[in-house]
Amino acid sequence: MRNKELIFLLADDHSVVRQGVLLMIRDIVKDAVFFHSSTFKETLSILRTTKIDIIILDIHFPDGNSSSILTEIRNINPNIKILIFSGLEEDVYAVRYINGGANGFLSKLSSEDEMKNALKIFIDKGKYMSQNVKEKILDNYMLKKSINPLDNLSTREMEIAVLLVKGHGNLEISFIKKLQKTTISTYKKRIFEKLNVDNLVSLIGVFNSYYEDN
């Protein structure tokens, strides 16, 4: 990723965190360009007006909804590289956010050396996971071979779930499937209940983990 000048967005509501990350990145990339944001609204505004290559993102903002921010970022810039930089427990949240569209997860509880190494890997390769996260993903992969929640869906429910994941709304799906919009809403509710999810980002995460398009 270093064949051109890289443009970073440091999105965190604590200025001292942004400054610390900036200094570490400058040790890796001398001529990087930096933008800063401290709110969800400001983050999206910068993304709409600037071609950002890499965003270092604390997923929680006082004014933002963490369950939708990754989807909104991807809608604005599908090619952006997203590194979640969070104080949330890595064991609990890393895989969830990677499945939700992030390219990597870095814990704020990591040592300075670990952070520098992680940032270097992410800048070079566009992705980063700690060994702990890699092992967790492998464990999940081995588990899904025997337990796949998508197997609980009927053929019609699976068809509609795939369309939802691809970004189609209820009205579009009703035209595609030649069904009433209320019928699609019922199917969607049933899909969410069977997969134990309550929003589209979570549904996409389930599909990223378990769906095999044959």
Q: Give me the CATH code for the 149-210 domain, please.
A: 1.10.10.10
Across the range 42-54, mean pLDDT stands at: 96
pLDDT tens-digit profile of 73-106? Answer: 999 999 999 999 999 888 878 888 888 889 999 9
The domain locations on the chain are: 7-135, 149-210
Query: The pTM is what?
Result: 0.66
Residue 204, pLDDT above cutoff 80: yes
Return the structure tokens found at 114: 């670990």
Residue 168, pLDDT above cutoff 90: yes
pLDDT tens-digit profile of 102-127? Answer: 999 999 999 999 999 999 999 999 99
Q: Does domain 7-135 have CATH number 3.40.50.2300?
A: yes
Residue 63, pLDDT above cutoff 70: yes
Residue 214, pLDDT above cutoff 50: no
Residue 181, pLDDT above cutoff 90: yes
Residue 141, pLDDT above cutoff 70: no
Residue 72, pLDDT above cutoff 70: yes
Instruction: Choose among 80, 44, 38, 81: nearest CA to 62.
Output: 38
Across the range 184-203, mean pLDDT stands at: 93
Residue 186, pLDDT above cutoff 60: yes
Instruction: Choose among 109, 105, 98: nearest CA to 119.
Output: 105
Across the range 8-32, mean pLDDT stands at: 95
Residue 68, pLDDT above cutoff 90: no
